[in-house]
Amino acid sequence: MRRQIAALAVLAQNTFRGLVRRQSLLNVAILGVGLVLLALVVSSISYGFPARILRSLGLSGVGIALNLLALLLGASLVSEEMQQRTLYVVLTRPVDRGAYVVGRFLGAAAVVACASVGFYGVLLAVLWGVEAGWQSADALALGFMTLEATVLLAFATLMSCLTTPLLATGLGLGFWVISASIDDVRRLLASAEGIVVPIIEAARWVVPSFHVLNYRDVAVYGDPVNLGAVAAAAGHGLTYAVALVALAAFALSRRELG
Amino acid sequence: MMAIRVRGFRKRFGGSLGKKPHQAAHDIGFEVRTGQVYGFLGPNGAGKTTTIKALLGLIRADGGTLEILGDPPQARGWRHRVGYLPEHPAFYPYLSGAETVVMFGRLAGMTDRDARRAADRLLDRVGLGHAKTRKLSKYSKGMLQRVGLAQALVADPELLILDEPLTGLDPVGRRELRDLFRELGDEGRTVFYSTHILSDAESTCREVCIVSEGRVRYTGSVEGFDAGRDRRYSLVLDHGRRALPDGLVGAACFSQAEPGHGHRMRLDFDDRARAEAALRAALDAGLEVIRYDPVQESLEDFFMRMVARTQQEEAA
């Protein structure tokens, strides 16, 4: 067990080193900074509450950039190693395939976490420019945005154990859209009848609700925080992330590396 | 004691979702004793890499039994006792040679300090002492092969499994690594390596297993295999525009005009006495003898002959 944890740390560290050199990371970083700057432009030309608009649009931009980053990193996290055959030598060491997946995932999750801090740093600098500084609710919103991206990363990692990076990215986008809209769709179809109702109910259990993980309104409008709801939301996100990574580990353990 | 034992190994790829099935291994079986330098020979596509991947648990066998250091491939027990170098090794280009070896050492359960010491020593041993801190993205193919060998050796393994380890090396590099394999064998390690180049195995191994088309064609000593190969005698003549002596071409088992040389003719004989008689006849007739060489049947020709013989036996 100790040996597996040590191997896991080595794999996570190596994954982090590899991913931070990616061109896609730079592209997403540019996009994230661009979205924050766009928020600044929009807030400056809007009527009233510029700091609130800036914070709202800025946090949304950071969320989009983090999710895109998670998708891009996760979609090739394992399949690329199979294509490049770097995986073969690693798996002939005393490293479980499960530990390999978890190590890769943790390395990528660390990149996402660092990116979220970096993006927020840019947003904070811009907020200071309009004389609106840091507030503790931002940390809550940012933490849940990072958790949402981590769930997406876990799904993309699962897909990368099963298919090509391109298909994994496409399926990840679908997962993102469904997870972000499942609660709204359910509300819209509250009075609907027929086959669509059980499908939506089933989907609600299969995919996570990103609506539950959205604490941006707390940061923007100062909505009251219910600690029980925060804990439940964190549990919701973490459960899905752990389950998806466990599925990814299982998928790789069954996979032929021919 | 056996380091590797393979019996009746079968593996088929494809066959689902409209993919054409391919039987990569039909009934492969061989045994490697501990402390041996053992050659696994065969042309490209013979089933060597498939067998190695099954031994290492990267793919599952469709049939047969495989054992590595007494354990089945899916077990974890053998993994810290085995070093593996894949065909066309691919590592992380952003790591240096030393960092690569340290990483694989740590994955094998070594402490950071021990892994660093081992990396330092092994990179010197494989001839990369001058490039320890250079990134792998700047390594040549031969250097990657060497760093691959260093990472395979990092945890002081009992058994080394090397898939085409000499591919991509220049003649000097090939010789150095062949010498290293012999040294490793002298240290009591088992070295199991695949190659499609017979001379590599001849100079380092006592025993070999030869496969082609997913079937074992020969297992045993190198000498025994060598004796089974045909020897030919090749005579190259320049006859100008003169006629060749009577019976000269008829005595040869193969004759061909040398391409690019207007009056040159190559004659191959499968018998030494016949070849020498032909040589005397050519000299007596005043023909210019360009070359007279004993030629051993190439590995490829040997494979083809064995395959043809097996097919004839199966048909009979």
Is B82–A10 a contact, with Cβ atoms under 8 angstroms apart?
no
Average pLDDT on A203-223 reads 88
Residue type, B310: T
Q: Among partner residues A3, A21, A84, which is closest to B94 by beta-carbon distance?
A: A21
Tokens of B310: 């097996």
Lookup: tokens for A105? 């995932």
**Greatest Cα pair distance in chain A:** 62
Tokens matching residue A187: 């509300």
Whether A7 and B106 lie within 8 Å, measured CB to CB: yes
CB-CB contact of A218 with A135 (8 Å): no
Contact status of A163 with chain B (Cβ, < 8 Å):
no
HSE toward the beta carbon, residue A130, CA cutoff 13 A: 22
- List pLDDT tens digits, range B285-298: 888 888 888 877 66
Measure in Å the smallest separation between the Cα of B253 and chain A Cα atoms.
Answer: 43
Compare CB distances from A3 to B60, B88, B109 and report the shortest one's residue: B109
Cα A16 to Cα A10: distance, rounded to the nearest angstrom? 10
pLDDT tens-digit map of A5-31: 888 999 999 999 999 988 888 899 999
- With beta carbons less than 8 A apart as the criterion, state whether A203 and A182 touch: yes
A42 touches chain B (CB under 8 A): no
pLDDT exceeds 90 at position A104: yes
pLDDT band at B124 (very low <50, low <70, confident <90, very high): very high
Nearest-angstrom CA–CA distance, A112 and A241: 14
Query: Which pLDDT tens digit goes with each residue over A26-78?
Result: 899 999 999 989 988 888 887 778 888 888 999 999 999 999 999 999 999 99
Q: Decide if A206 touches B, using CB distance below 8 A.
A: no
Chain A residues in contact with B109 (beta carbon < 8 A):
3, 6-7, 94
Is residue B244 very low, low, confident or very high in pLDDT (cuts 50, 70, 90)?
Answer: confident
Q: Which residues contact A56 (CB under 8 A, 6 or more apart)?
A: A39, A216, A220
Return the SS3 of A173: helix
Q: Supply the pLDDT for residue B17.
A: 67
CB atoms within 10 A of CB A200: 16
Task: Starting at the earlier edge strand, list the strands of the sheet with B190-195.
Answer: B82-85, B159-163, B190-195, B37-41, B207-212, B215-221
Q: Is B144 on the interface with A (CB under 8 A)?
A: no
Q: What is residue B300's predicted lDDT score, i.e. its pLDDT?
A: 63
- Structure token digits, residue A90: 């690693």
Backbone angles phi, psi at B255, to 5 degrees: -140, 145
The pLDDT of residue B314 is: 67
Mean pLDDT across the stretch B263-288?
86
pLDDT tier, B299 (very low <50, low <70, confident <90, very high otherwise): low
The pLDDT of residue B312: 72
pLDDT band at A249 (very low <50, low <70, confident <90, very high): very high
Work out the minimum CA distance from A225 to partner chain B, whole angstroms: 44
Could you count the other beta carbons within 10 Å of the beta carbon of residue A49?
Answer: 12
Q: What pLDDT, on a 0 to 100 scale, did the predictor assign at position A245?
A: 97
Which of B107, B110, B116, B149 to mutate against chain A (most A CBs within 10 Å)? B107
The DSSP element (H or E) to which A77 belongs, if any, is: none
Whole-prediction pTM: 0.84
* pLDDT tops 90 at residue B156: yes
pLDDT band at B311 (very low <50, low <70, confident <90, very high): low
What is the distance in angstroms between the Cα of A93 and the nearest Cα belonging to chain B? 5
Question: Is the CB of residue A25 less than 8 Å away from at least one CB of chain B?
Answer: no
What residue in B sits closest to A91 (Cα-Cα)? B58
- Please report which confidence band the pLDDT of residue B303 belongs to, taking 50, 70 and 90 as the band edges: low
Select the residue of B76, B90, B107 nearest A85 (Cβ to Cβ). Answer: B90
Spatial neighbors of B49 by CB under 8 A, at least 6 apart, are B87, B163, B194
Contact partners, residue B8, CB within 8 Å, separation at least 6:
B27, B28, B29, B63, B64, B65
Tell me which residue of B169, B191, B195 sits closest to B182, measured CA to CA. Answer: B191
Inter-chain touch A7–B89, beta carbons under 8 Å: no
Mean of pLDDT over chain A: 90
Q: Is A254 on the interface with B (CB under 8 A)?
A: no
Give backbone dihedrals phi and psi of B296, rounded to 5 degrees, phi first.
-85, 145
Chain A CB within 8 Å of residue B109 CB: yes
CB contacts, 8 Å: B113 with chain A: none
Q: How many CB pairs under 8 A join A and B?
A: 76
Three-class DSSP category at B114: helix
A7–B107 C-beta distance less than 8 A: yes
Q: Which of A50-64, A196-210, B80-94 has the lowest mean pLDDT?
A: A196-210
Mean pLDDT of B77-99: 92
Q: Best mutation site among A3, A5, A89, A104 for testing chain B: the one with the most B CBs within 10 Å? A: A89
How many angstroms separate the CA atoms of A166 and B182, rounded?
46
- Reported as a single tens digit per residue, the pLDDT across A132-184 is 777 888 899 999 999 999 999 999 999 999 999 999 999 999 999 999 998 88
Residue B279 tokens, joined: 């040589």
Q: What's the CA gap between A240 and A232, in Å, rounded?
A: 12
Q: Is A7 an interface residue toward B (CB < 8 Å)?
A: yes
- Picking from A20, A81, A93 by the largest number of B CB atoms within 10 A of its own CB, the best residue to mutate is A93
Tell me the pLDDT tens digit for each residue of B1-33. 899 999 999 999 887 767 788 888 998 999 999
Asked if the C-beta of A91 comes within 8 angstroms of chain B's C-beta atoms, the answer is yes
Measured in angstroms, the CA of B5 and the nearest CA of chain A are apart by 18
Per-residue pLDDT at B298: 65
Buried b (16+ CB within 10 A) or exposed e, A233-254: beebbeebbeebbebbbebbee
The DSSP call for residue B292 is E
Q: Does pLDDT of A236 surpass 90? A: yes
Residue A191 has pLDDT above 90, yes or no: no
The mean pLDDT value for B109-113 works out to 93
Q: Which run of H or of E encompasses B41?
A: strand B37-41
A102 CB neighbours in chain B (<8 A) are: none
- Half-sphere exposure of A142 toward its Cβ, with a 13 Å CA cutoff? 22
Categorize the per-residue pLDDT at B282 as very low, low, confident or very high, splitting at 50, 70 and 90: confident
Q: In what order do the strands lie in the sheet with B264-269?
A: B254-257, B264-269, B231-238, B288-296
Chain B residues in contact with A18 (beta carbon < 8 A): 92, 94
Tokens representing B208? 């070999």
**Residue in the structure block whose two tokens are 């599952």:** B60
Cα A148 to Cα A9, A26, B270, B303: the distances in Å are 23, 21, 76, 59
CA-based nearest residue in chain B for residue A94: B79
Which of A29, A43, A194, A182 lies closest to A115 in space, CA to CA?
A: A29
Q: B135 and chain A: CB distance < 8 Å anywhere?
A: no
The whole-angstrom distance between B123's CA and the closest CA on chain A is 18
Residue B168 in this model has a pLDDT that exceeds 80: no
Q: Which residues pair with B209 in a beta bridge?
A: B40, B219
Q: Is the dihedral of CA A135, A140, A141, A147 positive or negative?
A: positive
C-alpha B210/C-alpha B225 separation (Å) is 9
Question: How distant is the Cα of B112 from the closest Cα of chain A, in angstroms?
Answer: 10
CA distance A10 to chain B (A): 7
Cα–Cα nearest to B191, from B171, B206, B176:
B206
Q: CB of A18 within 8 Å of any CB in chain B?
A: yes
B15 contact A CB<8A: no
Q: How far apart are CA B86 and CA B94, in angstroms?
A: 19
pLDDT tens-digit profile of B225-239?
Answer: 767 677 788 888 888
Arithmetic mean of pLDDT, B97-101: 96
Sequence letter at residue A194 = G
